[in-house]
Chain A
Amino acid sequence: MLEILQDNWLLFLVGQYPHGPIGGLTMTLFMATTALAFCFPFAIALALARLSRYRWLSSAATAIVHTVRGLPLIMFIFWTYFFSPLVIGRAVGGVETLIIALVVYEAAYLSEIIRAGIEGLPKGQFEAAAALGLGYWTTTFKIVLPQALHNMLPSMVSQFVSTIKETSLGYVISAHEVTFAASQVNNVLLTQPFEVYAILALTYFVLCFALTSLARYIERRISAGRVVATPVVTVAA
Chain B
Amino acid sequence: MVEFTLWDILRNLLLAARWTVGLSLIAFIGGGLVGFALLIARLTPSQGAHRLVGLYIQLFQGTPLLIQLFLAYFGLALFGIQTSAWTAATLALTAYTSAFLSEIWFGCVASVPRGQWEAARSLALTFGEQLRHVILPQALNIAIPPTVGFLVQVIKGTALASVIGFVELTKAGGMITNATFRPFTVYAAVALIYFALCYPISLTARALERTLHAAHR
Q: Do A and B bind each other?
A: no
